[in-house]
């Protein structure tokens, strides 16, 4: 004779009707929802951490919720870099933040901002919006860059926060069009040969989230150092790659979620000047050690 089934719920032998679920036998009245305690009479149920739930109870108490509409995420859904879970359809309904990639639902969108200036609530919350906010950070960044072996001979450095239009003007003077910061300098020539360059200021886009503002500023301070040291003949990929390496080292040292995101963005950058330049300079600097790399660059005025 087959063995008499035993109910997993009460541990007693079952003599009448029973059901099988989750690899065990149950009295019908003992196969109950872990949330509401009522029997699960239907065919469908949801299992979570080894316990059964009514579909509706699971959706209400256990299922993760969409960060943007609040609906239970019971089918396929997406998770962004920051661990935010959301419904698949929102990926194409809402714009992405220009700075961190998070979605920006309508209630968070700033009036008058174009799509290339879209900011999420997180980036907006840490944004550097005034010179008063920027000044003490700028001073600390100069000290950090000095600690990397890059010094400016007591050069009085100034920082300007500016809008996109003015930044675009500064960048056009450097022959660039897409950047979040610019280093302004004057070049003096004699008989067609550059004899001296001097820094007139650093400009960074107004309203950048704090961590990105810091990395962009460090990048520009790299350009300042190259000018001060009269290192003039580096190819574009080497100059931008060196400045990106500085930003990368800064982000990595922060070791915050934002810092790690920014560092990873530099690593993944496919741009032939900024991205490939960073990877080529990083390889050389890693082989020599960063302090020796900086010393060699300063003493020879050429790429080691």
DSSP assignment of 204-219 equals EETT-BHHHHHHHHHH
Domain coordinates in residue numbering, the chain: 77-125, 131-300
pLDDT for residue 75: 82
pLDDT band at 177 (very low <50, low <70, confident <90, very high): low
Query: What pLDDT score was predicted for residue 209?
Result: 97
Q: What is the pLDDT of residue 244?
A: 97
Average pLDDT score over residue span 180-190: 76
Average pLDDT over residues 221-250: 94
Q: Residue 196's pLDDT is what?
A: 62
Q: How much is the average pLDDT of 129-150? A: 95
- How far apart are alpha carbons 40 and 37 in whole angstroms? 9
Q: How far apart are CA 125 and CA 129, in angstroms?
A: 10
Measured in degrees and rounded to the nearest 5, phi and psi for residue 157 equal -95, 140
Query: What CA–CA distances, in Å, run from 214 to 218, 222, 227, 246, 304?
Result: 6, 13, 20, 11, 27
- Whole-prediction pTM value? 0.81
pLDDT beyond 90 at 180? yes
pLDDT at 113 over 60: yes
Query: Bigger pLDDT: 36 or 173?
Result: 36
pLDDT: which is higher, 187 or 300: 300
| HSE (side-chain half, CA atoms, 13 Å) at 45 | 21
pLDDT at res. 1: 47
Q: Given this model, what pLDDT does residue 189 score?
A: 60
Specify which of 24-33, 41-50, 187-196 reaches the highest per-range mean pLDDT.
Answer: 24-33
Helix, strand and coil in the chain, % to nearest 5? 40, 20, 40
Contacts of 189 (CB under 8 A, 6+ apart): 195
In which band, very low, low, confident or very high, does the pLDDT at 2 lie, cut at 50, 70 and 90? low
Please report the pLDDT score of residue 120 as a whole number: 94
Q: How many contiguous H segments (helices) and E segments (strands) does the chain have?
A: 10, 9
Q: What is the mean pLDDT of residues 52-68?
A: 91
Band (pLDDT 50/70/90 cuts) for residue 154 is confident
Mean pLDDT (the chain) is 90
Query: Alpha-carbon distance 228 to 199, whole Å?
Result: 8
94: Cβ–Cβ under 8 A, 6 or more apart, which residues? 68, 103, 104, 105, 106
In a 3-state reduction of DSSP, which class is residue 298? helix
Q: Does residue 198 or residue 101 have the better pLDDT?
A: 101
Q: Are strands 24-26 and 19-21 parallel, antiparallel or unpaired?
A: antiparallel
Mean pLDDT across 221-248? 94
Scanning the chain, the segments in alpha helix (DSSP H) are: 55-61, 90-93, 121-125, 131-147, 164-173, 210-228, 236-254, 257-268, 274-288, 290-300
């Amino acid at each position: 004779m087959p063995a008499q089934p035993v109910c997993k719920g009460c541990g007693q032998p079952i003599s009448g009707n029973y059901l099988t679920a989750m690899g065990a036998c149950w009295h019908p009245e003992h196969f109950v929802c872990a949330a509401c305690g009522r029997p699960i009479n239907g065919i469908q149920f949801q299992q979570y951490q080894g316990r059964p739930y009514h579909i509706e109870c699971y959706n209400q108490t256990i299922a993760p919720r969409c960060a943007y509409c609040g609906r239970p995420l019971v089918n396929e859904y997406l998770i962004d870099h920051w661990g935010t879970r959301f419904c698949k359809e929102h990926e194409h309904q809402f714009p992405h933040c220009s700075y961190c990639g998070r979605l920006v639902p309508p209630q968070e969108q700033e009036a008058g901002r174009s799509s290339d200036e879209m900011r999420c609530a997180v980036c907006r919350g840490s944004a550097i919006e005034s010179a008063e906010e920027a000044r003490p950070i700028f001073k600390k960044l100069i000290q950090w860059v000095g600690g990397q072996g890059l010094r400016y001979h007591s050069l009085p450095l100034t920082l300007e926060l500016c809008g996109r239009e003015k930044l675009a003007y500064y960048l056009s003077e450097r022959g660039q069009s897409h950047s979040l910061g610019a280093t302004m300098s004057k070049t003096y020539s004699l008989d067609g040969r550059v004899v001296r360059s001097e820094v007139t200021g650093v400009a960074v886009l107004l309203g950048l989230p704090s961590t990105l503002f810091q990395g962009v500023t460090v990048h520009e301070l790299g350009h300042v150092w190259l000018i001060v040291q009269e290192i003039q003949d580096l190819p574009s990929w080497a100059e931008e790659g060196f400045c990106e390496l500085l930003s990368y080292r800064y982000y990595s040292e922060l070791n915050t979620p934002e810092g790690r995101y920014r560092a990873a963005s530099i690593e993944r950058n496919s741009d032939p000047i900024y991205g490939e330049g960073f990877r080529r300079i990083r390889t050389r600097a890693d082989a020599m050690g960063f302090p020796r790399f900086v010393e060699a660059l300063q003493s020879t005025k050429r790429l080691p």
